[in-house]
Structure 1
Amino acid sequence: MIRDITIGQYYPAESKLHGLDPRVKIVCTLLYLISLFLVQNLLGYLLAAIFLFMIIRSSRVPVKFIVKGLKPIIMLLMITVVFNLFLTKGGKVLLAVGFLVITEQGLRTAVFMAIRLIFLIMGASIMTLTTTPNALTDGIERLLKPFGKLKVPVHEIAMMMSIALRFIPILLEETDKIMKAQLARGADLESGNIIQKAKAMIPILVPLFVSAFRRANDLAMAMEA
């Protein structure tokens, strides 16, 4: 599941979207993500779905590759749906079991938030999957260039944002290696209650943080050289 996250990865392919100016892709992605939170009806989300489908087809990135990026957020998706379903009040009561009450507004909000989260992940993934790290950095720097007149460190900010985004798959790969190593030693990461599972994650988090700081230090030394 760790390797299923697609945000931050690049998928090489020959498509018009891959060759598009990174500034255009960044701006369009931001506008798309903002629009997801402005839409308040199913028609709007249907149009967003059609737009997303067309973009995915034009990118020539396999749909299965993009969809698998949703697997790691299934738990977050379920939590979001449950919270919105039971905590949002308003409208006609659809179901009431003890203190648990589901209303029309709660159901509507839960469905819309789930759609937003799914479309958000897929939209952001398309941008990174079709843009190389160098192109992404260059695009961010060009977009922020006007702020350079205000003595804003544009290049440094662009580099920092690009590195942070590309660091995601590296950390995920490192996490995957550490988890496999712990499982090979007999670690049990699945059974037990929440507290036991949290304790079982400590042997993974400690070396992960050490590795992250080491990689960050190596990167800093390489950039200073």
Structure 2
Amino acid sequence: MNKLLLGRYIPGDSLIHHLDPRAKLFASFYFIVIIFFCNNFSSFGLMFLFTFMSILLSKISLSFFLKGVRPLIWLILFTVSLQVLFTNGGTVYFKFGFLTISEFGLQNGAYIFLRIVLIIFMSTLLTLTTPPLSLADAIEYLLRPLKKLKFPAHETSMMISIALRFVPTLMDETEKIMNAQRARGVDFNEGNLMQKMKAVVPLLIPLFVSSFDRAEDLALAMEARGYRGGEGRTKYRLLHWQWQDTMTILCLALLTGALLFVRQ
């Protein structure tokens, strides 16, 4: 549980860390969108090259990064297996009832696997290199045009940043509860899949109770400090767009052109 990196921030002095959070947020969402334009392994190779270059510029160890993504592997494999078993087309390699393993199924399964891994890498890189408060400021800035439609941009950005901030906290809390259960003789690794799932159920009640207590404490702390929403609030942290941010957008434009070139 404590290996999950989504939501954690690792302070650093890299080029990625110093980028404007608006540029990083826009780049991450844009990257996730153009992933779905990949239709062959050459285009996926191009996207992985860009991702690994970004990780290298962030000065975050790739091995540490992969260990952090490992807890999500089972979810990825489950999604891929559904795609493989229920997609027909091309040469049929195996068929049993309504389950079919075909050429198109394997190809689409591989594409889904690569897309999910790329999305996890890029979204995790965003949270690793961006403080939650800066990320909230960037979300609020990008949602600002929706204020004319009475959309609560400030409140939405605050909720997203709080959710990201408390993902690692909840994982740490879950690890503590599991260790307490192990000290009382519970083995989460024995038995079949159903038995393992039943062993996890007793973790939910104390985790929910702890989450609600933490949410109430946070609400009281915000009220005690005079928080009344975004209207009329000034900001201590000011966002500054620099030439590195413009170069990031230009790199995304070049990546898009290269992607369209290698697509079939």
The reply to whether residue 49 of structure 1 matches residue 71 of structure 2 is no
The secondary structure found in structure 1 opposite 2:185 is coil
Higher RCO (C-alpha under 8 Å, 6+ residues apart): 2
For 2:165, give the aligned amino acid.
R
Q: Which residue of 1 aligns with 2:103?
A: 104
Moved more, 196-205 or 133-142: 196-205
Deviation at 1:196, TM superposition (A): 2.5
Amino acid at match of 2:94: A
- Match of 2:2, SS state, is helix
Give deviations 1:184-225, integer Å, cap 9, x for gaps.
110121222333223211221110011111111111111111
Give the aligned residue type for 2:123. Answer: A
Letter matched to residue 172 of structure 2? E
Cα distance between partner residues in 2 of 1:111 and 1:196: 31
**Higher share in helix:** 1
Misfit runs of 4+, over 6 Å? none
Partner of 1:204: 203
- Aligned to 2:143, the other structure's residue is in SS state helix
Q: How many residues end up aligned between the 2 structures?
A: 223
**1:16 corresponding residue in structure 2:** 15
Indicate the SS of the match to 2:36: helix
Name the SS of the counterpart of 1:7 in structure 2: coil
Matched with 2:241 is none
TM-score scaled by length of structure 1: 0.94
1:54-92 per-position Cα deviation (integer Å, ceiling 9, x unaligned): 101111111112111221012112212222112111111
CA distance in 1: counterparts of 2:42 and 2:201, whole angstroms: 45
Q: Any idea what SS the aligned residue of 1:4 has?
A: coil
Give the distance between the partners of 1:31 and 1:90, measured in 2 at CA. Answer: 31
Partner residue, 2:173: 174
Q: Give the corresponding residue for 1:71.
A: 70
Cα RMSD (Å): 1.3
**Counterpart residue type for residue 19 of structure 1:** H
Cα shift at 1:127: 0.4
Separation in 1, partners of 2:215, 2:78: 32
TM-score (normalizing by structure 2): 0.81
CA displacement at 1:117 relative to structure 2: 1.1
For structure 2, which runs of at least 5 residues remain unmatched after alignment? Answer: 225-264
Q: How does 1:1-225 map to 2 (within 5 A)?
A: 2-93=1-92, 95-96=93-94, 98-99=96-97, 100-225=99-224
Between the aligned partners of 2:129 and 2:211, the Cα distance in structure 1 is 26
